[in-house]
Structure 1
Amino acid sequence: MDTNVVQFFKLVFLLFFPCMWTPHDAQWVHVSSTGISSAGDSINPGDTLNSSTYIVSEKGTFALGFFHRIDSTTTTTETYLAISEMAEADQILPFNLFVWFGSRDRPIVNNSVMLTLDNNGTLKIVQKGGDPIVLYSPPQPTKNTVATLLDSGNFILKEVQSNGSIKRVLWQSFDYPADTLLPGMKLGVRHKTGQTWSLTSWLTDEIPVPGPLALEWDPKGYQLIIKQYGVIYWTSGVLRGKTFKNISPEVTSMYDFIIVSNEDEDSFTYVNSNQSQRSEWLLTTMGQLKDLKGQDIARADYCYGYNTNGGCQRLKQPVCRHHGDIFDLRTGFLVAGDFSANYDSSLGISDCRAICWNNCGCVAFTSWFPNDTGCRFWTGKWQFLPGPGEPPSIFVLSSNDSSPFLNGTEGSVKSFKSVIHRRGTKKWIPIAISLLVIFLCILCYLLRRKVALEDHNTSKLLDWKQRFKIIEGIAQGMIYLHKYSRLRVIHRDLKASNILLDESMNPKISDFGLARIFEQNELAANTSRIVGTYGYMSPEYAMKGVFSIKSDVYSFGVLMLEIVSGRRNNSFQHVDDALNLVGYAWDLWQKGEGIELVDPAISDSCVKYQVLRCIHVSLLCVEDGAIDRPTMSDVLFLLTNESMPLPLPKKPAFSIGRKAIEANISYKESNNHSLNGLSISEMDAR
């Protein structure tokens, strides 16, 4: 009965609050937004290409310059030297598709950057405050060199004769492909040097660093192969004439293939049969190989290891996965028994799929962070709801075999949608109100069934492992409120009594009576009505009424100290000094005795380095200046990545003391505060 109630609660929540998700959008732009100019198609010795210039191939097909990515939530300072296809004349932006990156695994951290060719023939990227990135350095000084961007998209460094003709090519971008194969580029190996030519996917659709997928030429099998972490998922089959076994003749007829096999190299190259057409083979982050100017070439993203159609390879399978099981990409909301997350930012969406596939309990996955890194997984029975607005995209496990559970789920969704359609918008309003009332009743019922984190008897039952799980859960909830809901939510009263634990000791953030909603571009707000609980309030909020996401970070830092110590902040007084828990923790930390803060009840179960890391991160959260505090995403990253060095915390704002705070805000509305954990507030429009 309780499980059904919880599932219905989730269903109603997702129907009435579909806005709690922020779709991610990003774009790449030239480093300089004004005054960009073309410097021809070449760089001569002594020339520099800076962030305000770019070179364009002779016929205006490709451009080379410095670019960085603009994110919907933040502006990245990572800059890349890149070759971009020039856009059509009727498009607003001059640059279109990126086909090559210089040192894609070493992004440049600022915009003060230049590409230089010196008089000795060295081609390198020079950045302010950083080591140069050398693209080519001759074994001995070479005179008469020129770097030219060709209409093929190849950027070459050549040694020229006195009459301007090419003597030899010293270096070319075609030897260092990224995720795009242009006509004339090679896949294969050069035997003399051991250099390999292969495509490597981006980590995500927004991050160009090398991902886990690769397209290679197999000279022994005379075929193309797609690998993930070295494991072959797809093969083209043997090339016979102009056709591959596992690629449609309709596709291969568009190209001429050139195979070289000798003592110098084994390589594969393609050119267009119709020279007036252009082609760009792209290996996507999920393993799809497609011509951006034509059709799909290969679908390794359809390869699950049990099927061999279309070139897929048979692989060892988890016992729980069967023929016909696939992940469908759907847009909407998922109601499932539980979810978990992997915060590793080196994981892309194809990694998430592999992890979910090999976990028998996993039924769905998507990315965790806005830049499409990290993973979020769902387990247990599920229901999928196509939501209005711009809901998230989720990969959901489904089967071609008939399943009563799946059929029932989809049927209920279709019936629900048909009711809305038949009744019309006006007639739907009374039903919405009725469901909302039911939702509120169920919410009250569930809240009464839960136990507050501050309950003294409950705290005795929590060992360190459970407490750390609670800390992680609260952090995840706050990240969602701050980052992933379309309207950013500032809780303003995060404290132990507002954290409820279910029967499995999973934390639930409650009491949003004091919460404020921010637009995505809104950073802070000011109010003359100070509401919340003293001891958990940030200094800028308690003293000036200024609040932001960093106000919640401060409250989280206090809460984490309470969980570690087993003591409440606003009831703490040291024997000699009128300090709160934050001050006491700081004193112990300064003396190198942070472990003395730990609750004696968990002294046997705690992991010392993990506890000390939690205390350290707590002190970062309660720093005096809001700008110095980490975001909740940073907090979770620091807590779960133990190899990441932590900055030293600054002295927190505990020396003011509770009495001083009370005196300084006595002119505020005194009926809007609490000193003993009870929050009192007036109704205040959002």
Structure 2
Amino acid sequence: MAKITFYIFINVFAIGLSLAADILGINQSISHGETLVSSDLIFELGFFTPGNSSMSYLGIWYKFSPQTVVWVANRNSPLANHSGVLKFSTVGNLVVLNHSNGVVWSSKLPRVPANPIAQLLDSGNLVLRDNSSSSSDEAYLWQSFDYPSDTLLAGMKLGLNLKTGHERRLTAWRSMEDPSPGNYVSGLNYSQVLPQYEVVQADVHSIKYRTGEWNGVHFVGDSFTPNRVTVPMFVCNETEISFMFEVRNSQFFSIMTLNYTGVLQVLLVNRSRSATWSAMYKFPSDLCDSYGTCGANAICNISSCKCVKGFMPKSPDEWTVLNFSSGCKRTIPTNCSKGEGFLEIKNVKLPDLLEVTLNQSMSLKQCKVECLKNCSCAAYANSDIRGGGRGCLMWFGDLIDMRVFEEQNYGQTLFIRLSVSELDAVHNRTRSKIIIVAVVSCLIISGLLSVGTALWCLKHRKRRIRIGEITKEDIDLPLYERAALVSATNNFSDENMIGAGGFGPVYKGKLQTGQLVAVKRLSKSSKQGLEEFKNEVLLIARLQHRNLVGLLGCCIEGEERILIYEYMDKKSLNYFIFEIDRVNFEPSTDQEQSLLLTWQKRFDIIVGIARGLLYLHHDSKLQVIHRDLKTSNILLDGDLNPKISDFGLARIFGASEKEARTKRIIGTYGYMAPEYAFDGKFSLKSDIYSFGVLLLEIISGKRNRGFSHPSHHHNLLGHAWLLWGGDRALEIMDECLHSSFNKTQVERCIQVGLLCVQKFPEDRPAMSSAIGMILNYGWVLPKPKEPGYFMERNSVYSDGASSKGDSHTQNAITLTIPEGR
């Protein structure tokens, strides 16, 4: 949530009384009710009173969003009344005076200027300079950017000035209504061999969250990576060690802020369309973001911990689904004997740099040799990923605060030392997996040969294919050669990749016929596998509906498992309803306006999704539960017609089957029905719940996961329910719909959405009833009951957990903690 989440309401006395200029001269002053405004009307400086506080402060805020205060001068010395004045002192300092002319804040200039002036720049920087000299911008006598509060603006630096020793870091407010320095600070930790970014709880001197080290491109494990809007920048030279970011799309404003609970957020707003801030990233956002959650020598994955291969829990009795802090120890200690080697772990957040050495000139091969020579070396990795990798980091002792990522560009590769016997065990397990795959492949090949077809996939020709042990029915599918798909996707290049999920990456491809396709390739490291592949092939091949994505064929060649779909021009629904996702969507100029879907377009999409789901539940030959219905799985064609996709987790239900139960809970936080997330129970009503979440997200333009009410901590569902109960349901509607909405349709859709997300499955309507209620205005709708997760933030962890975006479906875990994305 944006800053408004924490400040509730800022009483700014300056409305309508701004000074004409952005400059304060030596004979001028600012009192309550007067402000400076930057030249392009972006930032405003003046006195404000936060929330219900009786104290006032001098601060800077966005003019279009006065509640978003980005800098506070007198944090430690609030004004008890409204008599504060900002002016120049007799020695040229900018000062804030109280009612008795006492100085409560001063710029403390290093020298006395002849003719000082203060100017509020469009960057949000308040600068002081000597107007009698021809000094450049780099010669400011003083600037607010050197003294951050809790917010990092574009162009503002955090870090250490090596010449002066001045340090810049963020310090949270004490509470929503108290800007005085709070209990959390964040900034660069440059005391180690490589800098990394940390959030620290000051009173106990403990790390709450950390990124990995700077790897030459970004901080390892930090999703604040270069994108269409922002680009992070790190400087380390003889004069400074600093971090900053720049906004390269002038259509947006972006800030990084540390709130009073210790949560670090990167916020974004489209300056031409909305005054509402959205969270691009939030740290910590899940269990794995919290420092050292899994203890020593263990790796965290979204919501669970496991010991690194070759290690076991130190205290098995204490190693539970909610407490992993005891960590892990080696199963077989290393003894520097011949034959010891390294286990390669890809895409991880590297361990904390507690006991490490760094050699920036070594290659990775040299690093391996050096680590093997030193019996105390526990692991090694490259220190810089540029140019194919260079530099050598070696860890000694325990490995702390590791996690694995699904996103390929977040983590790095770590090599952990193991004994020869443990390496043999790992290799044997790998060989066993290869044998299993080979056996399955033989079954597949046997099935192909049994009907007299060619051994390998042939494009444009249909073959009867028998997959795995499925023997009930042969499925007609066009089969494609791997070579043809390699050519179509430019050898599965990163430039052609249009998405990624738990199954694997998805590429845009162009066949020799000129047809565009989406190529979904099973990743070798995927936690999903043949079951999901078979599931998708069997289901989609037998399901035909205009609102379901079309499967064009598949390829099974060697270890490859590839699905080929019709290509959806407009990607997924995400890019049209969530502003954060629109950041990385690049429409042509004449499509720019279509990104803000009108209400009629959104309504048509809602109806299309409902019809697709109705077909799955009632009208197809099979009764299918999708189990992963969400915005990113709703694809849009060139005419913005919705198509439900990704059937890897779907289940077929018998006609008389009402409910099933599983220990393998798979899905996405924010869309999971409560009974499925916590008890493993699923039914048609599980999809109904997800559909209700979709409805409310489409109407509001906000994610359910990651949204929390400013004062009551309700999620999007709870907030919508309270507004509906207070006859204020339309307040949840996306601001961009105000000029196009149909009041009756919106209100009915909100109410149907609330009926679908009711806590108990028996209270939710069937899909046939839901679509009837949406389309038939004569139907009298029942009153919805309290929704699921009413007082929760869509995570089993209460410490600020929320979404960083729509990440990937994970594999099965225990019932105690449902695994989400």
TM band (smaller chain): 0.3 to 0.5
The structure carrying a bigger helix percent of its residues is 1
- TM-score, normalised on structure 2? 0.35
- TM-score, normalised on structure 1? 0.41
